[in-house]
Amino acid sequence: MGSKKLENFLEENLGDLKSRGLYNVIDPLQGANGPIIKIAGKELVNLSSNNYLGLATNDKLINTCIEATRKYGVGAGAVRTINGTLDIHVELEEKLAAFKHTESAIVFQSGFNCNMGAIAAVMDKNDAILSDELNHASIIDGCRLSRAKIIPYKHSDMDDLKRTAKEAKESGRYNKIMVITDGVFSMDGDVAKLPEIVEIAENFDLITYVDDAHGSGVLGKGAGTVKHFGLSDKIDFQIGTLSKAIGVVGGYVAGRKDLIDWLKVRARPFLFSTSLTPGAAAACIEAIHILTESTVLHDKLWENGNYLKKGLKSLGFDIGESETPITPCIIGDETKTQEFSKRLNQEGVYAKSIVFPTVPRGTGRVRNMPSAAHTKEMLDNALAAYGKVGKDMGIIE
């Protein structure tokens, strides 16, 4: 049945992963991805979702989504450039530009698609991209797609960025040079050094590209990392996702009008993949409205993040250098980290382990992402589980 070559390939590679215990088994949720989730009939405190503000289950967003679905249908019916651009897509783009303090914005079907489209629309084989070594997979793939020379620099190491920028510039080999970074790094919760990056970019005439998937809704009173540093007019590409703090799905680039006009004719996922569903577009508009009206959810997220951090620290865990509510609990050894996460699950907490190759060897961690929707009681239950498992496994005293 089917290709023998394929069968052999799968047997060898899948078999290898499974035998080494590295095959990722996906646990389906029996209901919404809220602060409490249900898996295999068991309720768990959820510390693994990017639904930072709890908007994925917000009543206003749900009602807006239903209303838009009734009005426009479940699908947009075409790609944006044929006749899949609905008035609510345009409204969403206008709202995002205002939210990000830029002239214009363009919406994609996901943050991943956004990076696949935006980088290659501007960079080509005559160019170079200076890329933080811990940048997200979608940035790496987007850079590869552009065929530009990719020059990684050490994570948030500004001397290394300066060195690579100088070498690239002085080599005279490249037409354009771009520096590209996550705004907030999701494995450690640290924030990119944007003021220094902008200074280096100005010295070496670099195009600046910030993927703020984890900073929007979280930093800058909700407006993101670029706003947090007051650099809205200094960053060429502000990338965001609509799937994390915004709680829905989709991605966007915010920037100058001529850049966005160019992306609308050159970014391939925009040109060749059907637009965001009407329900999603409408829900995103509502989410931005909520975020710009009030900082209540943003403030609650930080309160919960700080509460969890303080609790884990006083239990004696190593919580790294996070500057945001993302809180890693660094265990170290890969097997021990996986066991720790499994034991937390038995104690009613869903917090995924992250190990090599996603993070460097020996820095395995259980990553916690509290949200504005968690109650103190939920967080106390999680901390009690951490205390019990930590002591049982000899990680804390």
C-beta closer to ligand PMP: residue 95 or 214: 214
Asked if residues 95 and 285 have their Cβ atoms less than 8 Å apart, the reply is yes
Helix (H, G, I), strand (E, B), or coil: what is residue 107? strand
Name the residue with the smallest CB distance to ligand PMP: 111
| Buried-state track 188-215, b at ≥16 Cβ within 10 A, e below 16 | bbbbbbbeebbebbeebebbbbbbbbbb
The binder of ligand PMP chosen from 100, 136, 227, 309 (CB under 6 A): 136
C-beta closer to ligand PMP: residue 183 or 278: 183
211 lies in the binding site for ligand PMP (CB under 6 A): yes
C-beta closer to ligand PMP: residue 35 or 251: 251
Binding track, positions 296-315, relative to ligand PMP; x by CB under 6 A? --------------------
Which residues make beta-bridge pairs with 241?
Answer: 251
Which H helix or E strand runs over 46?
A: strand 42-46
Cα-Cα-Cα-Cα dihedral of 226, 227, 228, 233, to 10°? 60
Catalytic (active site) residue 275: no
The rounded distance, in Å, linking the Cα atoms of 20 and 11 is 14
Binding track, positions 244-263, relative to ligand PMP; x by CB under 6 A? -------x------------
- The region that residue 343 occupies, defined by phi over 0 for left and psi between -120 and 50 for alpha, beta otherwise, is alpha
Q: Which stretch binds ligand PMP (CB under 6 A): 21-29, 104-112, 120-128, 268-276?
A: 104-112
Helices (H) and strands (E) in the chain, counts: 14, 13
Q: How far is the CB of 210 from ligand PMP (least distance, A)?
A: 10
Which alpha helices (DSSP H) does the chain contain, by range?
4-19, 59-72, 87-100, 111-122, 137-146, 158-171, 194-204, 225-228, 257-266, 268-272, 278-293, 296-315, 334-346, 376-392
The binder of ligand PMP chosen from 46, 102, 164, 241 (CB under 6 A): 241
CA-nearest of 24, 4, 27, 28 to 14 is: 24
182 lies in the binding site for ligand PMP (CB under 6 A): yes
Helix (H, G, I), strand (E, B), or coil: what is residue 106? strand
Q: Which stretch binds ligand PMP (CB under 6 A): 15-23, 210-218, 304-312, 330-338?
A: 210-218
111 lies in the binding site for ligand PMP (CB under 6 A): yes
N-to-C CA span, the chain = 57
C-beta closer to ligand PMP: residue 209 or 386: 209
Q: How far is the CB of 243 from ligand PMP (least distance, A)?
A: 4
Q: How many CB atoms lie within 10 A of CB 95?
A: 18
Given 95, 136, 149, 214, which residue is catalytic? 214
Which H helix or E strand runs over 327?
A: strand 327-332
Q: How far is the CB of 139 from ligand PMP (least distance, A)?
A: 7
C-beta closer to ligand PMP: residue 248 or 319: 248
The binder of ligand PMP chosen from 138, 156, 181, 322 (CB under 6 A): 138
Catalytic (active site) residue 244: yes
334 lies in the binding site for ligand PMP (CB under 6 A): no
188 lies in the binding site for ligand PMP (CB under 6 A): no
Given 110, 131, 138, 186, which residue is catalytic? 186
Catalytic (active site) residue 155: no
Q: How far is the CB of 118 from ligand PMP (least distance, A)?
A: 11
Which H helix or E strand runs over 332?
A: strand 327-332
Given 95, 136, 244, 374, which residue is catalytic? 244
Amino acid at 263: L
Active site residues: 186, 214, 244
Give the binding site for ligand PMP (CB under 6 A): 110-112, 136, 138, 182, 186, 211, 213-214, 241, 243, 251
